[in-house]
Structure 1
Amino acid sequence: MILLLKKLHRYWYFISVLLVFLLFFPYIYFLARRPEKNYARIARMRRWVSIGGSALAGVFFKVTYESKIDWNRSMVLCPNHTSVLDITALTYLCPAPFSFIGKASLLKNPVTRIFFKTIDIPVTRKSKVSSFKAFQRANELVRNGRSVVIFPEGKIDDSFPPQIHAFKSGAFRIAVQNDVPTVPIIIENAWDIFFDDGSKRGSRPGVVKIHVFNPIETTNFNDDNASELEKVVYDKMHSYWIMKNKSYFHNLENLQKICQERS
């Protein structure tokens, strides 16, 4: 019964986002005719569509900071990735316009398509050419004073509960080449509310908690030691992730031991 309700909530979530999107679509379509000129306006509409749709489905967001963030700076934002809610979490978090780097399949989604054809950056991760073009586009945006969001794990973990896996280097190379800070971000519990796309476990209303670390300046890093920056960011995020989810993982380990003993 609970799973059925979660499956129904998942459908309601997507319907809610679509309804809000359709409400604003004429204006978004008008802006999309000149994406460079209307970059900030398109980003603002993406923000209201995602936040509004989530709110209709009873999903809200709460942010904690290590220190105040100047969102007007050009930065590379590095969040973990466990849920479709992560996109909304970032739009809620960052009031300044920015671009996502995301999988090319989002071009097939009726809501995200128009944003990935205008202000966001689609990438086919198995294609070196596509990855190179996405890297170049992100570099161009950062050089022009804009921020980009890159999920450094590259994908959502297949296992449940998800863990933080090894990072890819792209985000950190972009940061050091343009001498802009990286901002580690942990989206703590989106996976517990809406894991991945919800197709297996459904979703539920709730409050997604987001923790923003201090920006890490990249002045002392370069192409030769960008891997050190990657390690610093990974260690911060991984330690915080384990701390916030240790009770869940501890209970899971105990359950697995009991099952093994009984078998």
Structure 2
Amino acid sequence: MSRFAWALFNALQLLFTLLWTAAWIALALLVRLLTGGRHWPLRMASRCWAPGLLRGAGARLEVHGLERVDWSRPHVIVANHQSMIDVCALFRAVPVPLRFVLKQELAKVPFVGWYARAMGMVFIERASARSSARRLRAAVEVVRGGASVCAFPEGTRSRGRVGPFKGGAFQLAIEAGVAVVPVAIEGSGRVLPAAGFRVRPGRIVVRIGEPLSSQGLVPHERSALAGQAREAVVALLAEGAAQ
């Protein structure tokens, strides 16, 4: 396609993304208000919102390794992060409602922040140790209540090599007493790169690894668990590259 055609395609993609997201958020908030629960609004994200954006981007999603996890139990899911479309891929790939760990700044974004707060997403605030401790305690209660939480422990979108994993999500797993599920996402950065809004049709592969136990660990061992999880994600990516 010519440069002009791609520019027009991406402009339409952006418009579709904004309108589609706003519509489903509005509907999810209405369902949350009417039912008083979060299950169905979160299911709407995985069964309606995320598939619509993936199809609109021309992304073909493949999921491997679902059978490795007992999804009746809560987990802390950690994944590498190449693109904003990773959220759609994980919502669609994981067969249980997900709550994501998000930066505090997103709470102030119209629609997205309203939805995240209403759905019980976990916010982190790195600048305040007191606030971070309070939010960690709240996140532990969310997981102990049966919810699975998903985090991108690199802290930012990577370009190529998987970055170091920060320890917050792993401390959450240790204190909640749940296993960590490593997940490798491949191809999302080619569909929607980290910089700008340049959509290109392609394949996104989600590989789910064996859960890593946090039993018997104490919070100061979170770095070791983070390193173990990163190694598992890197191995899953290498597995995909070898096929």
TM over 0.5: yes
Partner of 1:249: none
Secondary structure, aligned partner of 2:219: coil
The aligned length equals 240
Shift of 1:80: 0.6
Q: Does 1:227 align with 2:226?
A: no
Partner of 1:164: 162
Gaps spanning 5+ residues in structure 2: where? none
Contact 1:13/1:54 (8 A) holds in 2: no
Q: Percent identity?
A: 25
**Per the alignment, do residues 150 and 16 of structure 1 end up closer, same or farther by CA in structure 2, a change over 3 Å counting?**
same
Shift of 1:9: 3.8
Query: TM-score, structure 1 length as denominator?
Result: 0.79
Q: Does 1:40 align with 2:15?
A: no
**Per the alignment, do residues 8 and 146 of structure 1 end up closer, same or farther by CA in structure 2, a change over 3 Å counting?**
same
Secondary structure, aligned partner of 1:138: helix
Partner of 1:31: 31
Partner of 1:143: 144
Contact 1:98/1:146 (8 A) holds in 2: yes
Secondary structure, aligned partner of 2:204: strand
Q: Which amino acid aligns with 1:88?
A: C
Secondary structure, aligned partner of 1:33: helix
Q: Does 1:11 align with 2:11?
A: yes
**Per the alignment, do residues 235 and 30 of structure 1 end up closer, same or farther by CA in structure 2, a change over 3 Å counting?**
same
Q: Does 1:117 align with 2:113?
A: no
**Per the alignment, do residues 5 and 207 of structure 1 end up closer, same or farther by CA in structure 2, a change over 3 Å counting?**
farther
Q: Does 1:193 align with 2:194?
A: no
Whole-angstrom CA distance in 1 between matches of 2:205 and 2:89: 9
Partner of 2:208: 212
Partner of 1:175: 173
Contact 1:61/1:89 (8 A) holds in 2: yes
Q: Which amino acid aligns with 2:72?
A: N
Secondary structure, aligned partner of 1:54: helix
Whole-angstrom CA distance in 2 between matches of 1:117 and 1:179: 24
Q: Does 1:71 align with 2:67?
A: no
**Per the alignment, do residues 165 and 171 of structure 1 end up closer, same or farther by CA in structure 2, a change over 3 Å counting?**
same
Contact 1:101/1:134 (8 A) holds in 2: no
- The CA deviation string for residues 199-241 of structure 1, in whole angstroms up to 9 with x for no partner, is 4xx1211221111101112224222423221121111223443
- The CA deviation string for residues 86-137 of structure 1, in whole angstroms up to 9 with x for no partner, is 1001101112112111123434555523321212223343443443343222
Partner of 1:91: 91
Query: TM-score, structure 2 length as denominator?
Result: 0.85
Partner of 1:101: 101
Shift of 1:34: 6.9
- The CA deviation string for residues 16-68 of structure 1, in whole angstroms up to 9 with x for no partner, is 33343454455323234378x32111211222212212212322311111743
Alignment RMSD: 2.6
**Per the alignment, do residues 38 and 243 of structure 1 end up closer, same or farther by CA in structure 2, a change over 3 Å counting?**
same
Secondary structure, aligned partner of 1:113: helix
Whole-angstrom CA distance in 1 between matches of 2:25 and 2:190: 31
Contact 1:17/1:49 (8 A) holds in 2: no
Shift of 1:154: 1.1
Whole-angstrom CA distance in 2 between matches of 1:38 and 1:66: 26
Shift of 1:5: 4.6
Shift of 1:242: 5.2
Question: Which has the greater radius of gyration?
Answer: 1
Contact 1:66/1:214 (8 A) holds in 2: no
**Per the alignment, do residues 25 and 141 of structure 1 end up closer, same or farther by CA in structure 2, a change over 3 Å counting?**
closer
Partner of 2:133: 132
Secondary structure, aligned partner of 1:117: helix
**Per the alignment, do residues 163 and 12 of structure 1 end up closer, same or farther by CA in structure 2, a change over 3 Å counting?**
farther
Gaps spanning 5+ residues in structure 1: where? 247-263
Q: Which amino acid aligns with 2:213?
A: E
